Amino acid sequence: MNYMLFLKIIDVFEVKGLKDIKLSNKHIFIANHPTLIDVIAIMSCIPFCNCIVRKSLGEHIYFGRVIHAASYIVTDDAAQLVADCEESFKAGRSLIIFPEGTRSPAYGLHTFNRGAAQIALRTGIPIVLVVITCDPPTLLKGQPWYAVPERPVHFKLHFHPLPTLPKETQEKNNFPLKVRALNQYFEDFFRERLHVTTDFRRS
């Protein structure tokens, strides 16, 4: 991030709420995914953090070796994913999850996958919701990385620790309903703070 600030690719990199998080503890960081550099931005703030990577990217001719060298979680198998996440937590690493599964549309949000909610409920690791904004939108999916925005970029991370599970989740009497309720809470939380009302399908 310092390199991007130096080159003026990003004019302002703002971080809020990080002081409320004990970084020596493990957390699940659940974030929206507007740009290509979201993982880098969060990892610049959080030491010893892991992330989940699609199997196709782990097999990429250029990025695959880097991803495996960093010991990121590479799988498309839901059952294996939970087991791999648990192993990562045992190794003392926090975890970044993007429930949209791909980069967000400009000024929008895809519907959330339930994997993040399931991992959070199965492991009991404390949850932090990370609202990412990038204004003007840049480094979007399908946009060339070298495309220059029309004005300087303001990139912001806002960390929101979740002290306890939402009441709507706790009140459900079985695991699938708890997962569904927690996932809906996550999506509603981000839609409210990003002022998003339109539903987008993943592509």
Task: For 29-41, write each residue's pLDDT tens digit.
Answer: 999 999 989 999 9
- Is the pLDDT assigned to residue 202 strictly greater than 60? no
**Residue 112 · residue 45 · CB < 8 Å:** no
The verdict on domain 2-194 having CATH code 3.40.50.720 is no
Task: For 33-91, write each residue's pLDDT tens digit.
Answer: 999 899 999 999 998 899 988 776 666 666 667 777 777 888 777 778 889 999 999 99
Task: For 148-190, write each residue's pLDDT tens digit.
Answer: 788 888 999 999 999 999 999 999 999 999 999 999 999 999 9
Q: What are phi and psi of 117, to 5 degrees?
A: -65, -40
pLDDT at position 143: 83
SS3 of 100-120: the string is CCCCCCCCCCECCCCHHHHHH
Higher pLDDT, 136 or 55: 136
